[in-house]
Amino acid sequence: MSAPSPSAIDRKIVPLSRLLVELSGHRRAGHTVVFTNGCFDILHPGHVRYLEAARALGDCLVVGLNSDESVRRLKGPHRPICTQEERACVIAALASVDFVTVFDDNTPLRLIEAVRPDVLVKGGDWAPDRIVGRDVVEAGGGRVVTIPFVQGKSTTGIIERILAALTPKPGG
């Protein structure tokens, strides 16, 4: 019996080596490659709107996903809530996302250097001069775009609401 073929979602989750092969085809076709990154621990509407806006800036959206170890170093020992496999699957299921690749560094700099996106996207909560990879992208003729942050939508806020709902109320 042969192994089942990968699903459409699984085909979007690729190691860097495979990603670079896929992107070479997109570039030959004249496509604009857009890159963004993040932890995307608990997917929420802010993430979805952000990724849709990022995808609208080009023809192919690559999401660099922080590994579990990377998230722990950045967010603390109780994060991530969802594993990198779970997070990659959910992100890859979005129509706006073409590829997801997991990276283990604290920043996506080495990934950006390898991918060489035409457009680098970060949320509006990042000051332009603090965007990692900006110099690399601009030196290659690309551009850096910040997308306005969706107020009131955050993984931390969701976790706080869950904890508050689970905390016994006095007299209740």
59-89 tens-digit pLDDT: 999 999 999 999 999 999 999 999 999 999 9
Query: pLDDT of 16-29, one tens digit each?
Result: 999 999 999 999 99
Q: Which residue has the higher pLDDT, 109 or 148?
A: 109
Whether a cis peptide bond, with omega within 30° of 0, leads into 80 is: yes
pLDDT on residue 62 = 98
pLDDT on residue 139 = 97
The pTM (predicted TM-score) of the whole model is 0.90
The domain made up of 9-166 has a fold known as: Rossmann fold (3.40.50)
Query: Which residue, among 102, 91, 77, 80, has the nearest Cα to 17 in the 3D structure?
Result: 102
Q: Which residue has the higher pLDDT, 7 or 13?
A: 13
Q: 97, exposed or middle or buried, with CB in 10 Å at 0-12, 13-18, 19+?
A: buried
Q: Where are the domains of the chain?
A: 9-166
pLDDT on residue 170 = 76
pLDDT on residue 4 = 58
